[in-house]
């Protein structure tokens, strides 16, 4: 299972070779929590092995749909194609600055593999945002991996019923994704108008602060409610607040990265994904031992305090010193 999980992660590399940098309204699909709900129902009805079959079939269908339906949106590539078409039609050369299509495949592969590493090692802004995104991601999977165990072990519910509690996280995700996207767009337009039409990545930062507060608040709510064995709705409400904070902060960080590296969005995403995957792997491993020794209350309080100490300074660093940190980064080719 571990080997196959590694293989499935290789699918993330596809973004390294598709130069795509469209920055649109950031939409979040609550896949992690939603699939956990479905997984519980599948495991309880037809067996846990079918979880992997269903996911594989669903992923294959989505891949086919994306291949035939998704259009190219990268402006430089569209301009290159237009210039190439005009060259063929008129016989006169039309040149653009986008020349990666003429590069050998070996060069494309080399850049695809090495550029994310260069970004992570040479860009201070990627290091700041990448570590915070990774801790955000690790905390999310820390909760996701232990949430069902709470309901089966402490509340003595079935696997199917325990999976339904992930609906609380979906609710938090949805509120943050829909509301946060609209608020961010309005704030972006307002900041842009005040700056005389000039844009800056920091205009995406403001919602990161409430998100950074909601995550530890939700953890404290969830942890102590579970510790006291309160009604299930009280526990779920705390997790919904946590989920809202996860999406608000993640949206802001992803948009900041996309604004900072418009020409290398795929590579920047891969660089941050590397750290996120490490934290997402390591954090769930510590959840059982942490809860056994400290309980849900003190365990979640520990994670919440660490998150506050790490996360609260980040929005202020990006807002006041983000431009300076980006300027210190070396050129990426």
| Domain architecture of the chain: domains with CATH | 111-328 (1.20.1250.20)
By the 10 Å C-beta count (0-12 exposed, 13-18 middle, 19+ buried), 223 is classed as: buried
Torsion angle (degrees, nearest 10) of CA 112, 117, 123, 127: 130
d(CA 247, CA 243): 6
pLDDT band at 23 (very low <50, low <70, confident <90, very high): very low
Q: Are 26 and 181 in contact (CB under 8 A)?
A: yes
Percent of the chain topping pLDDT 90: 24
Per-residue model confidence (pLDDT) at position 5 = 44
DSSP conformation class of 24:
-
Q: H helices within the chain, ranges in order?
A: 2-9, 14-17, 31-45, 49-69, 75-90, 105-122, 124-149, 159-164, 167-194, 208-227, 232-260, 265-311, 313-328
Per-residue model confidence (pLDDT) at position 35 = 60
Q: Are 118 and 264 in contact (CB under 8 A)?
A: no
Torsion angle (degrees, nearest 10) of CA 41, 47, 50, 51: 50
Q: H helices within 195-264, ranges in order?
A: 208-227, 232-260
Q: Are 198 and 182 in contact (CB under 8 A)?
A: no
Per-residue model confidence (pLDDT) at position 16 = 41
pLDDT band at 21 (very low <50, low <70, confident <90, very high): very low
Token code pair at residue 220: 């404290």
Q: CB 230: neighbour CB atoms within 10 A?
A: 13
Higher per-residue pLDDT: 9 or 311: 311
DSSP conformation class of 151:
I
Q: How far is CA 92 from CA 77, 85, 89, 100, 136, in A?
A: 19, 10, 8, 20, 52
Residue 227 has pLDDT above 60, yes or no: yes
Per-residue model confidence (pLDDT) at position 216 = 95
d(CA 243, CA 240): 5
d(CA 129, CA 269): 11
Coil, strand or helix: which one is 100? helix
DSSP conformation class of 331:
P
pLDDT band at 30 (very low <50, low <70, confident <90, very high): low
Per-residue model confidence (pLDDT) at position 8 = 44
Residue 243 has pLDDT above 70, yes or no: yes
Residue 7 has pLDDT above 60, yes or no: no
pLDDT digits (tens, 9 = 90+) for 191-226: 888 888 888 888 989 999 999 999 999 999 999 999
pLDDT band at 97 (very low <50, low <70, confident <90, very high): low
By the 10 Å C-beta count (0-12 exposed, 13-18 middle, 19+ buried), 36 is classed as: buried
pLDDT digits (tens, 9 = 90+) for 42-83: 776 777 787 788 888 888 898 888 888 887 777 777 777 788
Q: Mean pLDDT: which of 69-73, 140-144, 229-233, 252-256 is highest?
A: 229-233
Q: What is the dihedral sign for C-alpha 47, 52, 56, 62?
A: positive
Average pLDDT, the chain: 81
Q: What is the pTM for the complete model shown? A: 0.77
pLDDT band at 275 (very low <50, low <70, confident <90, very high): confident
Coil, strand or helix: which one is 182? helix
């Amino acid at each position: 299972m571990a080997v196959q999980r590694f293989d499935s992660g290789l699918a993330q590399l596809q973004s390294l070779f598709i130069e795509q940098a469209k920055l649109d309204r950031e939409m979040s699909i609550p896949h992690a929590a939603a699939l956990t709900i479905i997984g519980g129902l599948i495991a309880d009805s037809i067996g846990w092995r079918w979880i992997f079959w269903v996911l594989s079939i669903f992923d294959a269908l989505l891949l086919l749909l994306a291949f035939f339906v998704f259009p190219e949106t990268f402006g430089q590539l569209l301009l290159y194609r237009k210039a190439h078409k005009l060259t063929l039609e008129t016989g006169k050369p039309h040149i653009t600055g986008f020349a990666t299509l003429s590069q050998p495949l070996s060069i494309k592969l080399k850049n695809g593999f090495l550029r994310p590493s260069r970004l992570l090692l040479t860009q201070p802004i990627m290091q700041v945002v990448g570590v915070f995104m990774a801790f955000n991601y690790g905390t999310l999977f820390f909760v996701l991996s232990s949430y069902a165990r709470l309901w089966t072990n402490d509340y003595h519910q079935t696997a199917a019923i325990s999976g339904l509690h992930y609906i609380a996280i979906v609710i938090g995700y949805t509120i943050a994704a829909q509301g946060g996207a609209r608020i961010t767009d309005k704030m972006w337009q307002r900041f842009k108008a005040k700056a005389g039409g000039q844009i800056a990545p920091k205009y995406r930062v403001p919602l990161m602060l409430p998100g950074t507060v909601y995550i530890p608040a939700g953890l404290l709510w969830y942890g102590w409610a579970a510790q006291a064995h309160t009604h299930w709705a009280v526990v779920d409400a705390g997790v919904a607040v946590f989920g809202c904070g996860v999406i608000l902060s993640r949206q802001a960080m992803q948009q900041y990265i996309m604004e900072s590296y418009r020409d290398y969005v795929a590579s920047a995403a891969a660089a941050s994904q590397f750290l996120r995957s490490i934290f997402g792997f390591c954090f769930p491993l510590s959840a059982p031992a942490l809860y056994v020794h400290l309980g849900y209350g003190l365990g979640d309080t520990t994670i919440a305090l660490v998150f506050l100490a790490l996360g609260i300074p980040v929005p202020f660093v990006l807002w006041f010193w983000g431009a300076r940190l980006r300027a210190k980064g070396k050129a990426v080719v």
